[in-house]
């Protein structure tokens, strides 16, 4: 008895040591972490004529990083994060346009402080609630700031914005060239500092408490964690970082308009973060850069298709890669994933219930395709007879297309989920 | 009539018409959210689709305005059932975030699809003669279309109230909103109930979308532009409450109209200010459960 007790104790100590070792060691820099930074520096030398784009991408990385702090770590769903981006952008804009204050670094600091302050005040109220109320209140915050700016358009410039904002040389020495080379390095430097801070926060006991709140808020209350204070703190920090991103946006673009507060801006940054993966620091990098590159190429081709693409991307991400691109990469790199999925796909063929699902989705897709095809081009058809003549072909094409898409999505979905379902049944 | 009384009557009247639109479109969202806690950001897309069905039917097929409203509501209700069965069903137990992402993705796709087919320019509908003029109600005359909207809204409120409060199905819905587990354990099929209310809600949203064309104009961005308003009405009224949704629609509709009449520059500021104040005082809304 004594021996088994001792071995159990030993095992417990071992487990505790492993856990402690994990907590102590996880914040150490891994070699792979240098990769994004090396890529960013390489981009500076490889694409000297694409620096304006690079600037925007880095700014969006910073913005996504700030959202990751509250969404990925603390689990606060905000649909109005553009509020703080906008406050930062306007702080810099107004400092230059109304007060002739154009020194870049001190205006960054001012932007961080002001947006942090607004984050603190709104967060204090908003974060007492949960779920839909929080989503609505964050959304309302952004819209109210936009409306307030519109109300005092004598100060803010309204929707025409503040054009022609020129900032002073960095440190009084480095002037900004037309191609944004200095800007790029400036933004990259600020991003590196911010990233270091965020990384420290995430791996600190405070960051650990945030993860606890995200995972199980009741238990955190039960063990005496000051939940509200923690949430308000992280919300304030996140707001300040978003403010810095906004400030950089104004400084590098030399203009700002009220559209920075748009819902689109809040939604966009969330899509980026989801695409990259929440709660994993580098998700913001991958998500923002991939999104910006896709947008750069596709929205030039057709803004409409681009919007359709984001929608589809979101749905696919939620269905198939809930942990983002980084999570997907991790999963694929594990060998078992492939075998498991292939096996699931094979089993799928033999399962009668799946065929019913697929047949059903084919019928649904066909029906929706038919309706869309039937309704298509009503707006543009000039002659009813012309329209009717073209109808059968188009309706048929849309029907087939709809059926195909719905079946394909469901087939992939089943392949993904049937293994998990089988495991559930087995256990 | 004195000047300010005249303005007050105008605000009340226009606000009432606007509130009816808000109520008709949001009530389904409120009930489905109350039933399943499902955050459906694609609700505005159903309203938008309803609007375009009405545009197509009236413009290209020459169907009358009122029949096309009804066809649009039925059609969108049918489509929405398929979406609910195939897609939404998988996400009832998912987190808020996943539901938000899924449904906002759907809304984006719907906007893009309709922009492709109908273009981004706002559409209008040809109205029958009897809806175009104005109606004299004794002390002054009002635009006929708004009178029509208020009448439709009032009729729907009566029907919904009867259905919700006086029928068996309504009692089941109320029971399920109150305590879903309990309702299920006494044999109410909440899943089927949800499909039913989802279809009804989407159909009403389509009807609201069709009615709104004349009032607000219709372009594909309708799906997201007014979604915020529907969500506000739902949040302020309290999830799953018919009374709350009606009260919220009236308060917000009249305040918004009043704000735009009296202080045109402030635009939509008031509606958000009221929302924030109400939610800070009563986070679950007027008639929501704390």
Choice between B267 and A5, residue whose per-residue pLDDT is larger: A5
CB pairs under 8 A between A and B: 153
Contact A188, A40 (CB under 8 A): yes
Average model confidence (pLDDT) across chain A? 77
Q: Indicate if the pLDDT at residue A400 is higher than 50.
A: yes
Give the confidence band of A242 by pLDDT, cuts at 50, 70, 90.
very high
Selected residues 34-53 of chain B with any CB under 8 Å from a CB in chain A? 37, 39, 52-53
Q: What is the pLDDT of residue A63?
A: 93
Q: Is residue B277 part of a domain?
A: yes
Backbone dihedral angles phi then psi of residue A322, each to the nearest 5 degrees: -60, -15
Q: Indicate if the pLDDT at residue A130 is higher than 90.
A: no
Q: Is residue B126 part of a domain?
A: no
Q: Which of A380, A382, A270 has its CA nearest to residue A324?
A: A270
3-state secondary structure at position B142: strand
pLDDT 10s digits, A319-353: 777 777 777 777 666 645 555 555 555 554 445 55
Query: Which pair of structure tokens corresponds to residue A62?
Result: 């910073």
Measured CA to CA, the distance from residue B152 to residue B245 in angstroms comes to: 17
Number of domains in chain B: 1
Do B96 and A139 count as a contact with CB atoms less than 8 A apart? no
Residue A287 backbone class (left: φ over 0; alpha: ψ -120 to 50; beta: rest): alpha
Question: In chain A, what are the domain boundaries?
Answer: 31-289, 334-426
Q: What is the pLDDT of residue A240?
A: 93
Q: Is residue B286 part of a domain?
A: no
Contact B37, B176 (CB under 8 A): no
Which chain A positions have a beta carbon within 8 Å of B56's beta carbon?
375, 378-379
Q: What is the mean pLDDT of residues B7-21?
A: 87
Bridge partners (DSSP) listed for residue A162: A256
Measured CA to CA, the distance from residue A238 to residue A246 in angstroms comes to: 12
Do B117 and A378 count as a contact with CB atoms less than 8 A apart? yes
Which chain A positions have a beta carbon within 8 Å of B53's beta carbon?
375
Q: Is residue B228 part of a domain?
A: yes
Q: Does B277 touch chain A (CB under 8 A)?
A: no
Backbone dihedral angles phi then psi of residue A262, each to the nearest 5 degrees: -55, 150
Q: What is the pLDDT of residue A427?
A: 39
CATH number of A31-289: 1.10.3470
The complex scores an ipTM of 0.80
CATH number, domain of B12, equals 1.10.3470
Bridge partners (DSSP) listed for residue B143: B134
Which chain B positions have a beta carbon within 8 Å of A77's beta carbon?
96-97, 100
pLDDT 10s digits, A158-171: 777 777 667 766 66
Q: What is the mean pLDDT of residues B209-224?
A: 85
For residue A85, CA distances in Å to A244, A315, B176 come to 7, 26, 41
Max mean pLDDT range (A160-174, A270-284, A336-350, A387-401) = A270-284
For residue A279, CA distances in Å to A79, A283, A319, B124, B211 come to 17, 8, 18, 46, 44
DSSP letter (8 states) at residue B226: T
Measured CA to CA, the distance from residue A290 to residue A273 in angstroms comes to: 11
Q: Is residue B132 part of a domain?
A: no
Query: Which residue stretches of A100-226 are H helix?
Result: 104-126, 132-151, 153-156, 181-203, 205-215, 217-222
Selected residues 4-33 of chain B with any CB under 8 Å from a CB in chain A? 33
Q: Is residue B131 part of a domain?
A: no
Which chain B positions have a beta carbon within 8 Å of A263's beta carbon?
224, 228
Q: What is the mean pLDDT of residues B181-205?
A: 89
* The dihedral sign for the CA sequence A4, A6, A9, A14: negative
Q: Does A217 touch chain B (CB under 8 A)?
A: no
Measured CA to CA, the distance from residue B262 to residue B255 in angstroms comes to: 10
Residue B71: domain span: 3-120+140-281
Residue of B nearest to A308 (CA): B109
3-state secondary structure at position B133: coil
Q: Indicate if the pLDDT at residue A388 is higher than 60.
A: no
Measured CA to CA, the distance from residue A368 to residue B83 in angstroms comes to: 10
């Amino acid at each position: 008895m004594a021996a088994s007790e001792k071995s159990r104790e030993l095992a417990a100590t071992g487990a505790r040591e492993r856990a402690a070792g994990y907590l102590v060691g996880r914040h150490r820099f891994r070699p792979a972490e240098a990769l994004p930074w090396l890529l960013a520096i390489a981009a500076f030398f490889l694409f000297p004529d694409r620096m304006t784009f690079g600037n925007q991408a880095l700014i969006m990385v910073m913005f996504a990083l700030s959202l990751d702090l509250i969404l990925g770590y603390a689990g606060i769903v905000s649909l109005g994060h553009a509020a703080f981006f906008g406050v930062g952008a306007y702080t810099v804009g107004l400092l230059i346009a109304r007060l002739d204050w154009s020194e870049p670094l001190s205006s960054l600091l001012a932007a961080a402080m002001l947006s942090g302050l607004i984050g603190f005040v709104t967060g204090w109220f908003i974060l007492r609630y949960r779920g839909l109320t929080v989503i609505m209140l964050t959304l309302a915050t952004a819209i109210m700031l936009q409306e307030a700016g519109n109300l005092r358009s004598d100060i803010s410039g309204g929707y025409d914005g503040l054009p022609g904002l020129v900032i002073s040389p960095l440190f009084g020495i480095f002037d900004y060239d037309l191609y944004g080379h200095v800007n790029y390095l400036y933004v990259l430097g600020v991003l590196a500092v911010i990233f270091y801070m965020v990384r420290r926060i995430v791996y600190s006991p405070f960051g650990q408490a945030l993860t606890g709140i995200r995972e199980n808020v009741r238990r955190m209350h039960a063990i005496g964690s000051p939940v509200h204070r923690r949430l308000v703190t992280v919300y304030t920090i996140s707001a300040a970082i978003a403010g810095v991103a906004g400030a950089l946006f104004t400084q590098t673009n030399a203009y700002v308009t009220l559209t920075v507060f748009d819902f689109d801006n809040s939604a966009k940054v969330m899509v980026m973060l989801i695409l990259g993966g929440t709660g994993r620091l580098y998700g913001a990098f991958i998500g923002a850069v991939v999104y910006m590159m896709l947008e750069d190429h596709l929205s030039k081709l057709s803004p409409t298709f681009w919007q359709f693409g984001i929608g589809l991307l979101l749905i696919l991400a939620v269905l198939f890669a809930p942990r983002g691109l980084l999570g997907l990469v991790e999963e694929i790199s594990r060998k078992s994933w492939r075998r498991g999925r292939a096996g699931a796909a094979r089993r799928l063929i033999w399962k009668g219930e799946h065929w019913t699902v697929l047949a059903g989705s084919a019928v649904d897709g066909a029906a929706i395709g038919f309706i869309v095809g039937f309704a298509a081009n009503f707006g543009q058809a000039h002659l009813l007879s012309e329209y009717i003549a073209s109808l059968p072909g188009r309706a048929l094409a849309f029907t087939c297309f709809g059926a195909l898409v719905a079946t394909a999505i469901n087939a992939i979905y089943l392949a993904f989920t049937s293994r998990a379902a089988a495991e559930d049944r087995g256990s | 009539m004195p000047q300010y009384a005249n303005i007050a009557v105008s605000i009340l009247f226009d606000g009432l018409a606007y509130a009816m639109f808000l109520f008709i479109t949001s009530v389904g969202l409120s009930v489905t959210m109350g039933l399943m806690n499902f955050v459906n950001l694609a609700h505005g897309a159903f309203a938008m689709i309803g609007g375009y069905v009405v545009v197509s039917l009236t413009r290209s097929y020459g169907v009358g305005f009122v029949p096309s409203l009804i066809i649009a509501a039925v059609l969108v209700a049918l489509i929405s059932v398929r979406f609910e069965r195939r897609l939404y069903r998988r996400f009832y137990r998912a987190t808020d975030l996943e539901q938000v992402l899924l449904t906002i993705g759907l809304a984006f796709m719907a906007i893009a699809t309709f922009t492709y087919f109908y273009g981004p320019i706002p559409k209008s509908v040809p109205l029958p003669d009897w809806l175009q003029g104005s109606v004299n109600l004794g002390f002054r005359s009002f635009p006929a279309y708004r009178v029509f909207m208020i009448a439709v809204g009032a009729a729907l409120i009566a029907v919904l109230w009867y259905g919700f409060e006086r029928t068996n199905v309504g009692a089941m819905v109320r029971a399920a909103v109150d305590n879903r587990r309990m309702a299920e354990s006494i044999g109410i099929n909440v899943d089927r109930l949800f499909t039913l209310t989802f279809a009804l809600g989407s159909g009403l949203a389509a009807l609201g979308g069709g009615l709104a064309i004349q009032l607000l104009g219709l372009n594909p961005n309708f799906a997201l532009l007014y979604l915020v308003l529907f969500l506000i009405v739902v949040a302020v009224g309290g999830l799953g409450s018919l009374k709350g949704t009606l009260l919220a629609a009236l308060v917000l509709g009249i305040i918004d109209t009043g704000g735009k009449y009296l202080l045109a520059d402030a635009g939509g500021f008031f509606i958000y200010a009221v929302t924030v104040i109400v939610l800070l005082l009563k986070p679950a809304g007027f008639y929501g459960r704390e």
